[in-house]
Structure 1
Amino acid sequence: MTRVSTTVKAIATALVLSLPATLAQANLSPAEVSAINGKSGIRVYSSDGEFVGQTFGLRISGDRTRLFLLSRSGSTFNLRGGRDVVITTFTDNLSLQGNRLVINATERRLKVKSHTSGGSDNPVTIHLLHR
């Protein structure tokens, strides 16, 4: 009987460790939501640690969040003429780590999902609404 329970514990541990770290950490508590809703100046990072931009607005409405970002030096979208970035995602795809907001998406996924339209005054839009 001990051998079976040890095997089950080992399998359970392996399953937990095989989950991506970003999946396990992507959640905001109600207190964190109320603390950051509408705030500016929060640095936003991708799940692989790349700097995406700095918020100049953030709107949380139910299960969806819209981030309004300024492209700063060293940010992912700074090469696109310094255009603003608007990211729409589910709130549970975000986590707060100290004073940093982390999106549960890699830099590559953000670039693939980005859309530009019109002239250089229009923002880069990213919709991360698939589960």
Structure 2
Amino acid sequence: MTGFKTALASIATAAMLSVPATVTHADLSPSDIQAINGQSGIRVFSADGDFVGLTNGLRVSGERTRLFLLPRSGSIFRLRGRDVIITTKTDFLTLRGNDLVLDASTQRLRIKVQTPASDEDGALTILLLT
């Protein structure tokens, strides 16, 4: 049974990698940055449309942005049970209506997640700087 699960996971991964990722083009204007800086309650999505989390704070500092996210129902990190902190370049964000879209696929976000070294409660961190 374990071999079957491994084979199934390999096939699913190969299928996801063969599908071209949806590319978003970041377009945050200075007025957009001013409007969202420090805000909570903004929904954040991946480039392929999956819900990542709800902001519990957002800090824009020059070319870098730090998103403090709470995983909610439907989030790709909901099962991890921890808050998520994403540090990214401001150029990798797009404002669509009242939502933020990261210029990274769900698969890339899952690969980049760094779990705290200890078993204590700590936020998952993701660095998206390249």
- The TM-score with structure 1 as length reference comes to 0.80
Q: Based on CA coordinates, which of the two structures has the bigger radius of gyration?
A: 1
User: Equivalent residue for 1:41?
Assistant: 41
Asked if the contact 1:27–1:91 (Cα under 8 Å) also holds between the matched residues in 2, the reply is no
Measure how far apart 1:121 and its partner are.
1.1
Paired-residue identity, %: 60
Superposition RMSD on alpha carbons, in Å?
1.0
Listed one character per residue, the Cα deviations across residues 5-46 of structure 1 (whole Å, up to 9, x for unaligned) are: xxxxxxxxxxxxxxx641xx3120000000000000000000
Q: C-alpha separation between the residues in 2 aligned to 1:49 and 1:93?
A: 15
Q: Displacement, 1:120?
A: 4.6
The ranges of structure 1 where at least 4 consecutive aligned residues each deviate by more than 4 angstroms after the TM superposition are none
Aligned to 1:26: 26
- Residue equivalent to 1:72: 72
Matched residue type, 2:126: I
Whether the 8 Å CA contact 2:41–2:54 is kept in 1: the answer is yes
- Note if contact 1:83-1:120 (Cα within 8 Å) is conserved in structure 2: no
Could you tell me whether the CA contact under 8 Å between 2:45 and 2:99 is conserved in 1? yes
Distance 1:104 1:68 in 2: 17
- Provide the residue aligned with 1:13 in structure 2: none
**2 CA distance for matches of 1:120 and 1:75?**
22
Farther-moved stretch of structure 1 (118-127 vs 40-49): 118-127
Tell me what 2:6 maps to: none
**1:42, 1:100 within 8 Å by CA — same for their partners in 2?**
yes
SS in 2 for 1:79: helix
Could you tell me which runs of 5 or more consecutive residues in structure 1 were left unpaired when the two chains were aligned. 1-19
Identify the residue that residue 62 of structure 2 maps to in structure 1.
62
Contact in 1 for aligned 2:94/2:100 (Cα 8 Å)? yes
Report how many residues are paired: 108
Structure 2 length normalisation: TM-score? 0.80
Deviations 1:40-72 (A, max 9, x none): 000000000000000000000000000000010
